[in-house]
Amino acid sequence: MKKLRHIITAIDFSPSCRCALREAARRASLDGAVLTVVHVMNEFLVHELKQALMTDQASVRADWLERLKKFVAESEVGAAVVNAEVRIGHPFTELVEACRAHAADLLVMGAKGSKNEPHRVGAITAKCVRKAPLDVLVVREDAPGPFKKIVTCVDFSENSAKAVQEALHLAQQDGATLDCLHVYQSAIAMSLDYGSFAPPLPVTVDPGAVESWRKDLDSFLAPLTAEAGGVQVTPLIKERVNIREAILEHVNEVHADLVVLGTRGKTGLRELLIGTTAETIVQHAPCSILAVKPDGFVLPAG
């Protein structure tokens, strides 16, 4: 993985985004990247403030820019130099435009879960994970770095290889251990799991199939981890009916504090299966998430 050059952090002044800002600043310092924080104001709110304060849009923006800078100063980001920017419009649209304008290669966001569903991420964060044309790091408020246990999910795709490389880069920086997990589904298991509906069945393991997948996984990882730099890399094969449940089970078992997922933007049934898996992990993993976009990923329509 190449070093990061420009990181964008979305700020909504919540405790969750403060944690995300600190992690973004840490990553920027490690890679020597530029860090820009972006706050997006709703157009209706700006209009109401203009009316209430009898002022203009430029003054409203300037006032909130000062608030943003104060928030950064109070967030204890160390020696990191942080640029601040206030935009007006729809949060998702403006964040994507900010990333494009700065040629950013990482967007860092807080998870902002609710009290009733603490592991579910906010709507804007979830949309950025799905559609923003760059990698997105979702930082849990209770799981800041440095990361100690990283899990990356392997499906032998080109984007999966990219995810392994990025996970290894982070593990090298943080001194973390890395699990490379492939969940194997038999044809019967896959048909049972179609559309996320999997009846409760006893777990059966085919030793021959698992060993074959293990060899494939070792061959896949060999060139990617040849320069692991002392990182402990553990390849793992699990045979399960439900891929999503298997990944979450492993994340909880090893107390991972970061999961690295490769995502794809293809159409058809394959997108449904992979997209559902990634969406479930993002919403239910009790740790931070790095969603790795494929090279050439573009913003989907709609």
Domain positions in the chain: 1-142, 145-302
Return the bridge partners of 236, or none.
181
Segment 127-150, tens digit of pLDDT: 898 889 899 999 988 766 799 999
Domains 1-142 and 145-302 share a fold: yes
Instruction: State the chain's maximal CA–CA distance in angstroms.
Output: 74
Mean pLDDT by 10 residues, the chain (302 residues): 89 91 94 95 76 78 92 84 92 95 96 62 87 92 84 90 94 95 71 52 62 92 90 91 87 95 56 58 88 72 48
Segment 209-253, tens digit of pLDDT: 778 889 999 999 999 999 888 899 999 998 887 888 889 999 999
Q: For CA atoms 245, 252, 184, 260, give the dihedral sign.
A: positive
Rounded percentage of the chain residues whose pLDDT exceeds 70: 82
CATH 3.30.565.10 fits 1-142, yes or no: no
Q: Which fold has domain 145-302?
A: Rossmann fold (3.40.50)
Q: Whole-model pTM?
A: 0.86
Query: Which pLDDT score is estimated for 35?
Result: 96
